[in-house]
Amino acid sequence: MIAKSQRGWSGEPGELLRVGAGFRLADVDPDAKPGYGRKKKDGAADLLAGEQELDELQERLYAQSREDPSAPAVLLVLQAMDSAGKGGIVRHVIGATDPQGIHLVAFKKPTPEELEHDFLWRVEKEVPGAGYIGVFDRSHYEDVLIGKVRELAPPEEIERRYGAINDFEERLVARGVRIVKVMLHISPEEQKARLGERLERPDKHWKYNPGDVDERLLWPRYMEAFQTVFERTSTDRAPWHVIPANAKWYARLAVQALLLDALEGIDPQWPAATFDVEHEKARLAAS
């Protein structure tokens, strides 16, 4: 195991990025790199070192669950404005682990069937099973973000949802799911540059949606909705983390660090054999 200091961190990302009492999103500089004092090129090496740790911890987590259906799991929840880098996190941080241990779900605009149910219905079905690292690319928080900004539900229903989310997450934590909630925070100027690049490059056109500009025009209202999400749902057992994300490389390092924290907190162990090893060696030798 490589100590965190050797991966370039001067402080605990889990503490530095955590949304605590008195947090104000408006005070976060999207260009900052809290806790990481090294340069971009060092970041690449540190990310690689972290991948090896993540890989082993993920395998242990999975192994531990094979004989124990109540074993822990991890759930990474990713929220952000368009182009903030959720896809890059999935590709470069999650993509470095064994696909067999990952349960990735990209929540889209709800279908008519999903809309007939409570907003948590489709989410409950995707909670990671024992031993898995679940990844929600967008999540139940859409229902209090775009849901609030676009008034897709009455105000009293939006209001009800914060409590429902806390209850839901509390139940997950009680079942052994470590929840890592992350908002990737970019500046509106950075978004403009990124969307502009998608428009410049024909191989990026498919990533552009005219609706992205419609949402962009509501930036201040989204920031308010995020602020309320943090105030209402950053709990002790399932806190939010806001990661400055104008520098993609920093955001990836930070998400990786939060995942490593969660896994180190679980400290998964190779399970003991459930069979008689010597007896099996003899059977194998005779086969």
Sites of contact with a second copy (CB under 8 A): 63-64, 66-67, 87, 90-91, 94-95, 97-100, 102, 104, 106, 137, 192, 195-196, 199, 202-203, 205-208, 210, 213, 216-217, 270-273, 275, 277, 280-281, 283-284, 287
* Nearest residue to 13 (alpha-carbon basis) of 263, 267, 255: 255
> Measured from the CB atom, is 160 or 192 closer to a second copy?
192
> Measured from the CB atom, is 63 or 120 closer to a second copy?
63
Q: How far is the CB of 198 from a second copy (least distance, A)?
A: 9
Q: How far is the CB of 45 from a second copy (least distance, A)?
A: 18
- Two structure tokens written together for 150: 């676009």
Q: How far is the CB of 15 from a second copy (least distance, A)?
A: 29
> Measured from the CB atom, is 215 or 261 closer to a second copy?
215
Beta 240-244 vs 102-106: how paired, if at all?
unpaired
Q: How far is the CB of 261 from a second copy (least distance, A)?
A: 21
> Measured from the CB atom, is 188 or 265 closer to a second copy?
188
> Measured from the CB atom, is 200 or 236 closer to a second copy?
200
DSSP string, the chain: ---GGGGTBSS-HHHHTB--TT--GGG--TT--TTB-S-HHHHHHHHHHHHHHHHHHHHHHHHHHTT-TT--EEEEEEEESTTSSHHHHHHHTGGGS-GGGEEEEE--SPPHHHHTS-TTHHHHTTPPPTT-EEEEES-GGGGGTHHHHTT-S-HHHHHHHHHHHHHHHHHHHHTTEEEEEEEEE--HHHHHHHHHHHHH-GGGGGG--HHHHHHHTTHHHHHHHHHHHHHHH--SSS-EEEEE-SSHHHHHHHHHHHHHHHHHHH---PPPPSS-HHHHHHHHHH-
> Measured from the CB atom, is 26 or 272 closer to a second copy?
272
> Measured from the CB atom, is 169 or 190 closer to a second copy?
190
> Measured from the CB atom, is 3 or 273 closer to a second copy?
273
Answer whether 205's CB lies under 8 Å from 199's CB. yes
Q: How far is the CB of 90 from a second copy (least distance, A)?
A: 6
**Distance of alpha carbon 26 from alpha carbon 227, whole angstroms:** 9
Q: How far is the CB of 50 from a second copy (least distance, A)?
A: 16
Q: How far is the CB of 190 from a second copy (least distance, A)?
A: 13
Q: How far is the CB of 83 from a second copy (least distance, A)?
A: 11
